[in-house]
Every structure is written in structure tokens, then in C-alpha cells.
């Protein structure tokens, strides 16, 4: 075992989907530091190339997770060119914050296509490749919204709960082949997805104060939980979600009773 111990990813090939920015970018850089051979995939090819340029030996390519054929081709190419596909981490997600009664069909379909269909496409192809090689780890990104919701988050929350159930089902089906499937459940993280909230100081502060730690997370704080699930440190962990939410889901309110 190397100096990195249980978390060592040396000799493993990791495809980081959504690796061009935010959490995906941080995870791609973190996986490389643990020794993984990294391939950065993102809908924004220039962003993927920019991140890959910072990682020795990394490759990059454009990928739209909504396109099942493209997902299949991309992951098959990685497995063929690198001899194996050990880790797939998928971070893409979009949100349209809007009351349920005001949602349009186009908005619903767009959120579902990226968050839920995209997750399904990745799980299906990664699962097929990994069962054939009899081993691998898949890490999807769910959210605290798989458990709790607020006004304007109904559709987003539905997709994040759906991702968790897909993860559980896939873990059950793929486990006999040595393939593990898990999810990370972030709270509020400083990423492009949550960027609009920063323009409203009251909204931003309310989210910070909801967590036990009293602040937002940085993208790099999602690296540890994600790579734990990807690594041999989690060799007996599958079908679960690891919440990295600063205690958001541990608390039932923002008010501290008198005398506490």
C-alpha cells in the first residue's frame, strides 16, 4: 500500500463527469493528487480542457449526460484506451427555482433530463462496463433535497430523491459483480449553480445559518467525502448516501431556545 493508504487511487482510472467547474473540478484535481489517472468530461469542452491541463496525464472531452449514446461512447473510449474504468463520478445538475404551479413543461423536462435521465445514462453505461470487468466504484451526486425541501424546489428535490433511489437499486443489482454505487449529498456549496443566491445577502445568510457550522461549503470540501466513496477505504460501502451538509439535515430549525 502506498503512502496514501486506504485512499490511494494509484493505477486507477477515474472519469469525472462535470469536471469542468465547481465540485467536479475540485474532485478531478483531488483524484489526481491521490494518484488516479483522470479523464475530465463536461458539457463545456473548453472548461474540461482547462482543468485537464492542470493534471499530469489527464485527458478531456465534451459530454452531455442527456445523450445516452454520447455517454456510452465516452465511457467505452476511456475503458478501451486506458484498459479499465475503475471510478466514475458524476456531478452535473441544474435547478429552476420556481413554484410548482408556475413550472412549464419545458422547464420540467429540462431539469429531469439533466438530473435524472443523465444520472440514469451514466449509471447504465458505467454499470455495464464495470460488471464486465467485475469491479469498480460509481459515485453520483444527490443532495440534501433528497430528504428536505423548501418552496420553489419541488422538481429539483424530486430528481435528487430519484437519484438516490437509482443508486440504491443499482447497488443492489451490481453488487454481486463487485461494483459499488453510492451518492454524495451536499448541502449548500459555493458553485455556479448556487451563484444567484449570493446576490441576495438575506437569502445567502439564511442558508449559512441553517447548517450547524454556520456557513456555506467550499467545492474542495466535497473532495474528501467523494474520494472516500470512490476509494478502497469504502470497500464495504454501497447503496448509501453520505451527507456533506455541515449538519443541515441534523437540525430541525434555525431558532435556539432561550437558555441554551
**Positions marked catalytic:** 156
Give dist(CA 59, CA 13) in Å, integer.
11
Q: Are 142 and 229 within 8 A, CB to CB?
A: no
| CA distance between the termini of the chain | 48
What residues have CB less than 8 Å from 106, skipping those under 6 apart?
A: none
Task: Pick the closest to residue 185 from 155, 229, 154, 152 (CA basis).
Answer: 229
Q: Are 95 and 189 within 8 A, CB to CB?
A: no
Amino acid at each position: 500500500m502506498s503512502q496514501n493508504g486506504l485512499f490511494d487511487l494509484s493505477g486507477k482510472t477515474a472519469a469525472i463527469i462535470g469536471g469542468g467547474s465547481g465540485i467536479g473540478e475540485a474532485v478531478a484535481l483531488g483524484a489526481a493528487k491521490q494518484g488516479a489517472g483522470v479523464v475530465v468530461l463536461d458539457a463545456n469542452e473548453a472548461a474540461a480542457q482547462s482543468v485537464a491541463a492542470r493534471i499530469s496525464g489527464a485527458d478531456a472531452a465534451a459530454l452531455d449526460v442527456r445523450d445516452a449514446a454520447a455517454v456510452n461512447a465516452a465511457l467505452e473510449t476511456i475503458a478501451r484506451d486506458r484498459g479499465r474504468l475503475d471510478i466514475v463520478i458524476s456531478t452535473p445538475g441544474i435547478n429552476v427555482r420556481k413554484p410548482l404551479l408556475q413550472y412549464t413543461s419545458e422547464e420540467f423536462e429540462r431539469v429531469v433530463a439533466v438530473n435524472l435521465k443523465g444520472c440514469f445514462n451514466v449509471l447504465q453505461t458505467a454499470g455495464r462496463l464495470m460488471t464486465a470487468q467485475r469491479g469498480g466504484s460509481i459515485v453520483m451526486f444527490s443532495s440534501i433535497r433528497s430528504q428536505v425541501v423548501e418552496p420553489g424546489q419541488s422538481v429539483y428535490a424530486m430528481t435528487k430523491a430519484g437519484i438516490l433511489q437509482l443508486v440504491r437499486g443499482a447497488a443492489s443489482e451490481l453488487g454481486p459483480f463487485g461494483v459499488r454505487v453510492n451518492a454524495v449529498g451536499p448541502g449548500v456549496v459555493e458553485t455556479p449553480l448556487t451563484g444567484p443566491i449570493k446576490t441576495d445577502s438575506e437569502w445567502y445568510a439564511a442558508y449559512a445559518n441553517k447548517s450547524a457550522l454556520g456557513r456555506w461549503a467550499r467545492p474542495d470540501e466535497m473532495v474528501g467525502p467523494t474520494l472516500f466513496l470512490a476509494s478502497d477505504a469504502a470497500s464495504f460501502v454501497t447503496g448509501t448516501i453520505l451527507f456533506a451538509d455541515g449538519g443541515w439535515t441534523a437540525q430541525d430549525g434555525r431558532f435556539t431556545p432561550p437558555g441554551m
